[in-house]
Amino acid sequence: MAKILIKNVTIATMIAGAADTPLVGDILIDGDRISAMQADIHEPAAEVIQGAGYVAMPGLINAHQHTPMSLLRAFSDDLILMDWLNHKMLPAEAKMTPEDIYWGAKLSMAEMIKTGTTTFADMYIHMNVIAQAVQEVGMRASLTRGLVFLEDDGGRRLTEALDLVERWSGKADGTITTMLGPHAPYTCPPEPLQEVIKLAEHTNVPIHIHLAETIEEVSKIRERYNQTPTEYLFHQGLFARAHVLLAHSVHLNRRDVGYLKGMRGGVSHNPVSNLKLGCGIAPIIDMMEQGITVGLGTDGAGSATTVDMFEEIKAAAWLQKLDYGDPTRMPAIQALRMATSESAKLLQIDKEVGTLEVGKKADLILINMKKPHLQPIHNVNSLLAYSANGADVDTTIVNGKILMKHRQLLTIDEDELYRQVSWRAKRLVEGV
């Protein structure tokens, strides 16, 4: 791969403990890694990008997604969650073919690249076609086959989950990793959940699971096991035996938060989806105070409508300030790190991405600050957290490869994408 040199750019590294004030200098990308980051680099490069007026920061990491649900964007808004799920989402999703899922995933990837996301954690079905799309597009992804154990399918789902792990872990130039995905406590009784946990231990693969997204889930698990959903997972040994990515974790009491203390992994906070569906506000400050890693995700576009991670950054910060009645809670830099370095920890890829450092993978974005809403520049982090949006992202680089330059996608044919998703989406919602 050819070298890329970014000159005279403002660099927001997101390194914990580093000065919050961004640096100004050059970034040299050699192959798939950052090989130098300092003032005035003089080295020949096939691509030279003039960075004056731009901010370079780590690519955003979406820690919880359902990419094919982009085909159902804005199809069933302003409904209560169970009506949204049972009367709209599930009937439409039941019509999806593997080809629909492929194009829906590509639509989400196009939006993510254009809004600064370089990595995402996905949970769905027909994951091999999503993996193929990831490989073609060039993003980084952690892929999970969702596992619902409400009826006996003869082990088909689990076989597909293991096939995904075996076939795709470490593939696509190392950009694809995998997890095992028991869907949620209310869809995973003890026996199959134990089987998944044992497989995770045996294969050393993390687990991605929804937790306590709604108050209805809490009531179901209380009736079934006389426990909270968090207690249920704790007593099944999940947190002690695997690295776990918990999606949502909205309805946790203080005792539940205590059960998560010391866990490997942590929580993907998805504030926009939780707000839009009226689910509640996750106690993420309590979690952080207990040393629990909290990253950010969007959930699928079927609920969140947008998968622009800059909207999640804003919502995460504003919600905590409002919830506590304290504007000092969740400062800008903390919200930005949730979307970068902390999400990287959840996906177990923080040694490679999540911060801008020499030796790490070249996953970064350039934000055009020459916009009215981003001027004047008193505090870069505040502007990124509270004013920037996905449309301000000019260039997106993953694994040393430019996926978008000057707002033009280089690995996705947008005209063909829109043609495909238009007729497929109409077919899916017809009669629902």
| Class at the top of the CATH hierarchy for domain 4-58+360-409 | mainly beta
Residues 6+ apart with CB under 8 A from 426: none
Is the model's pLDDT at 54 over the cut of 80?
yes
pLDDT in tens, 383-422: 999 999 999 999 999 999 999 999 999 999 999 999 999 9
CB 18 within 8 A of CB 341: no
H-only helix segments in 78-214 = 81-83, 90-93, 98-114, 127-137, 156-168, 190-203
Q: How far apart are the C-alpha atoms of 237 and 230, rounded to whole Å?
A: 11
Q: How far apart are the C-alpha atoms of 143 and 148, rounded to whole Å?
A: 16
State the pLDDT at residue 153: 83
* Domain positions in the chain: 4-58+360-409, 60-346
State the pLDDT at residue 332: 97
Equal fold, 4-58+360-409 vs 60-346: no
108-136 burial by CB neighbour count: b if 16+ within 10 A, else e? bbbbbbbbbbbbbbbbbbbbbbbbbbbbe
Average pLDDT, the chain: 96
Q: Which value, in Å, is the radius of gyration of the alpha carbons in the chain? A: 21
* DSSP codes joined into one string, 200-252: HHHHT--EEEEE--SHHHHHHHHHHHSS-HHHHHHHTTHHHHS-EEEEE--S-
Q: How far apart are the C-alpha atoms of 124 and 180, rounded to whole Å?
A: 11
Give, to the nearest 10 degrees, the angle between helix 127-137 and helix 156-168: 20
Is the model's pLDDT at 150 over the cut of 90?
no
State the pLDDT at residue 20: 72
Confidence tier at 233 by pLDDT (50, 70, 90): very high
CATH code of the domain occupying 60-346: 3.20.20.140
pTM: 0.98
